[in-house]
Amino acid sequence: MDTVIQHTPKALDDFAVMLWSGAPIDYIWEDVEPLLRQGEEYLAPHYSLADVRTLLHGGRLVLWTAADQGGIVLVMLVELTRFPGCEVARILYIGGSGVKKVLPMIDFLHLWARRQGVDRIEVTGRPGWLRLLEPEGYLFESVTLVRDLGDVKEH
pLDDT category of residue 147 using cuts at 50, 70 and 90: confident
Per-residue pLDDT tens for 103-139? 767 888 899 999 999 999 999 888 888 888 888 889 9
Say how far apart CA 15 and CA 68 lie, in whole Å. 5
CA trace torsion 126, 136, 111, 63 (10° rounding): -20
Domains within the chain, CATH numbers bracketed: 3-136 (3.40.630.30)
Mean pLDDT to the nearest integer, 132-154: 88
Say how far apart CA 122 and CA 141 lie, in whole Å. 10
User: What is the number of other CB atoms lying within 10 angstroms of the CB of residue 32?
Assistant: 23
pLDDT category of residue 146 using cuts at 50, 70 and 90: confident
Task: Name the strand (E) or helix (H) holding 113.
Answer: helix 105-115
Mean pLDDT to the nearest integer, 75-102: 89
